[in-house]
Amino acid sequence: MSKLTHMDDEGNARMVDVGAKSPTQREAVAEGWIQLTPSAFDCLQAGDVPKGDVLQIAQIAGIQAAKKTSDLIPLCHPLPISGIKLVLETEAPNRVYVWARVRCDGKTGVEMEALTAVSGALLCVYDMLKAIDKNLIIGPIQLVEKSGGKSGDWKRQEP
């Protein structure tokens, strides 16, 4: 196993020093789902949610979450994000699918930003629908692919 980069020689947590690295184009895609109850799904589909347009507000929440990743995850670097695309779609049976792509020209990857975007959007959907029904299930949330950087391109392989 290779040496863990977020630990020093004494085993203490540290933020990796990326100062000597050259910026490269980075991109990451993540996805996730929230399973709704039939009553919550029906209200969402009918636009009958007291808090407003669930999917639009969750889209904004996901974008904001990606931009705040380094505030939430202690060892993540703040990154100059150049683009975030977040898509929310209703799917049968009774769920919302979230997909996020995050890009930057940076010295470290944007995988955590993509995962945080999906997580933030899904949590927002939960928050907006919990008054209708709390029996909502979030997950799985997963990285789909990433490109750029020293480790190169990666794509999820289905078992």
Quote the pTM value: 0.89
Pair 37, 94: CB distance under 8 Å: yes
Q: Which of 17, 42, 127, 133 is catalytic?
A: 127
Domain-wise residue ranges, the chain:
34-145
Cis peptide, bond prior to residue 140, ω within 30 of zero: yes
34-145 maps to CATH 3.30.70.640: yes
Q: Does the annotation mark 127 as catalytic?
A: yes
pLDDT digit string, tens, across residues 3-46: 557 677 777 777 776 766 777 899 999 999 999 999 999 999 99
Summary mean pLDDT of the chain: 91
Three state DSSP letters for the chain? CCCCCCECCCCCECCCCCCCCCCEEEEEEEEEEEECCHHHHHHHHHCCCCCCCHHHHHHHHHHHHHHCHHHHCCCCCCCCEEEEEEEEEEECCCEEEEEEEEEEEECCCCHHHHHHHHHHHHHHHHHHHCCCCCCCEEEEEEEEEEECCCCCCEECCCC
Rounded to an integer, the average pLDDT of 49-66 is 96
Cis peptide, bond prior to residue 93, ω within 30 of zero: yes
For residue 62, pLDDT over 60 is answered with yes
For residue 63, pLDDT over 80 is answered with yes
The pair phi, psi for residue 120, each rounded to 5°, is -60, -40
